[in-house]
Chain A
Amino acid sequence: MDVNVVDVRHVSRCFGGHVALDDVSFSVARGEILGVIGRSGAGKSSLLRCLGALDRPDTGQILIEGQDITTLPQAQLVPLRRRIGFVFQHFNLLSSRTVAGNVSLPLEIAGVPRAQRQERIASLLALVGLAPHGDKWPAQLSGGQKQRVGIARALANDPALLLCDEATSALDPETTTAILDLLAEINRELGLTIILITHEMDVIRRIATHLVVLDQGRIVENAPTLAIMGAATQSTVTQALLSETQPQVPPALRARLVAEPAPDGWAIIRLRLAGEAAWQPLLSLLGQQYDVEATVLQGGTTEIAGQPFADQIVSITGYCTEIHDFLLQFDPSLKVLGHVPADH
C-alpha cells in the first residue's frame, strides 16, 4: 500500500503571465509534519489551494491517499474536500454560530446525524481543551481559543490531511507555542499528517519533521528539517529565512571583524551540532586539549523535530588548523566568520 498521504508530481500553476508554481514535486508520508516555508509571493498560497482541491494546477498531478485530485470532476471534489482539514490564519469562524455550532458545521455538511454530532463535538472540544466553552460565541474567545475551535472544526470529519495556512501568524508568541504544542500532540496521538504553510522559520523549527522551501514557485530545499538546518551549504533563500532564528555575531563585534587571523586575537566561528554531538561538552574538551579559551557569544542548544540541535557563535583564542580539523569532525558545516584582533 502507498504510504504517502500526499504526492505532488511536477505541478505547475500560472496566473496570467505570472508563474506561481513551477514544476513542484514532493511527497508527505503518513504521520509526517511537513513545513512549507517561503517569502510572500513564493507560491505557498497557490500550493495550498491546489492541495485543498480549491484550485487545479495547469499541469502535473496531486495524489491524496493515492487518488489523483487534478482529474476528478467538480462533483467529486466536494466530498474529497471533506477529507482535508483546513486551519486558517484568521480562524474564519462563523460569528452566527456558537463554538459547538462551528465545530458542528462540517459534520452537518457531511450529513452526520444529530445524535452522533453531539457526541463528536463533545470529544473534539475536549481534545482541544475547550470542553466548557461549547455554548460561547466566537467573539467571546481569545485568539488562541478561536484557533483551537478552528482546529477542532478541521478535525471534525477525521481528515486524512490537515492543512494549516499560517495558523499561528495572527497569535502572540505564548499562544503560538500552545497551538504548536496542540498540533504536535494531535499529530502524535491521531497519527495525523499535517502540512504547515508559514513564513516563520521558528514554527518550522519547533514541530516540522520535514521541510520544503519555496522560492518563486520552485522548490529549493526538500529534506528532513534537521538535515537542512545542519547542512553545510544552503541555498541563499534558505539562509535568509534561517537567519531570523539563527544566532548572529553581535553588531559591536561584527564591526571589528577582519579576514586574516591576528596574533593574540580571537577567531569567531559558527558551530552547528546535530544529534548527540549537541550534548557533548565540546568547548571544554577543546580548552583542555589545545589550551585555548572558547566562549559561546550567541546561541545555544535547542530541539528540532525532536532532536537536539546546537547552533552557536563561538569565539576561540589561538585558532589553528588542528583546532579547525578537530571541530570539523563534529560539524562538517563549520564556518570561520572572521577574526578579531586583540586590543592594544
Chain B
Amino acid sequence: MSRLIIDLIARATWETTIMVACSGLLAVLGGLPLALLMVAMRRGGLMPCPPAARLLGLVVDILRAIPFIILLVILIPVTRMIVGTSLGTAAAIVPLSLAAIPYFARIAEVSLRAVDPNLVDAVHAMGGTRWMIVRHVLIPEALPGLVAGFTVTLITLTGASAMAGAVGAGGLGDLAIRYGYQRFNTQVMSLVVLVLIVFVAIIQAAGNALSNHLRHD
C-alpha cells in the first residue's frame, strides 16, 4: 500500500473527526435547550404552554423530514454566508449541525421525559426554582440517557458526513467516492469502510462506557 493512500486516509479520518465533533457539539448546544423547552412547555411541565410546545415540535419535525442530501443543497447560500464558502470541511459543519440539532432534540426529549415527575415535585416542594430543577434534577437524572442519545447522534453524523463528502466536504466519504467509486479503486474503498467501522465502534463503545458509568440505578 502506498504511502500516499495512507496519508490520504489519515487526513480524511481527521476531517471526518472534526466534522462529526463540531456538529455534534453544536447539536448538543442547540438540541438540549430545544428539548428542555419542549419538555417544560408541555401540559403539566415547568412552564406549561402547550401551543408553543406543539409549534416547536412541528418545526423540529419539519427539519427532520427534509432528506439530508436536499438540506445540503438548500443550505448552500446560508453556508456561504456563514463560512464564506460552500466547499470543504468547515462548510459541511453548517448543514450537519442543522440536521443534528432537531435529531438530538427529539432523542433528548425522550430521556428528559423519562425523569420521574415526583423528583421534580420533591425539589419544587424543597423550594427549588425552575432553573434549579433543570440543573439539579432534569439534566443529571437524564444524563445517562442523554449520553446514550448523543452517541447515536454522533454515529448518525458520521454517516451523514460521508454524504456531505459527495458535495465536496472532504473526509472519508469524499475519499471513498472520488478514489474508491469514481476511480474503481477497491483497495481505497475497502480501507475507508474499515476505518469507518472502527470509527463507529469506538464512538459506540466510549458512549456505552460513559453512559454506564453515569448510571446509578
**Interface residues, chain A, with chain B CB atoms under 8 Å away:** 52, 54, 78-82, 84, 86, 88, 90, 92, 94-97, 105-106, 108-110, 137-139, 153, 157
Contacts and interface: CB of A to CB of B under 8 A. Distances in A.
Interface string B90-126: 0000000000000000000000000010110111111
A109 B126 contact: yes
A106 B127 contact: yes
A110 B127 CA distance: 8
Given A92-B118, A109-B132, A138-B216, A79 B127 contact: yes
Nearest to B116: A92
Contact of B136 (A78, A92, A94, A157): A94
B168 to A, nearest CB: 44
Closest 5 CB pairs of A and B: A82-B127, A96-B140, A81-B127, A92-B122, A137-B216
Interface of B: 116, 118-119, 121-129, 132, 136-137, 140-141, 143, 214, 216-217
Tell me what chain B mostly uses at the interface: helix, strand, loop, or mixed. helix
B125 A81 contact: yes
Given A88-B118, A90-B118, A108-B136, A96 B216 contact: yes
A90 B117 CA distance: 12
A86 B126 contact: yes
Most chain B CB within a 10 A radius of its CB, from A81, A84, A110, A153: A81
B122 A86 contact: yes
Contact of A88 (B122, B136, B137, B141): B122
A40 to B, nearest CB: 17
A54 B125 contact: yes
Contacts of B124: 54, 81
B137 to A, nearest CB: 7
A100 B137 CA distance: 16
B143 A96 contact: yes
Contact of A94 (B125, B127, B129, B140): B140
Given A54-B125, A109-B128, A139-B216, 9 more contacts: A54-B121, A86-B126, A92-B118, A94-B137, A96-B216, A106-B126, A109-B126, A137-B216, A139-B217
Contacts of B141: 94-96
A95 B116 CA distance: 10
Contacts of A106: 126-127
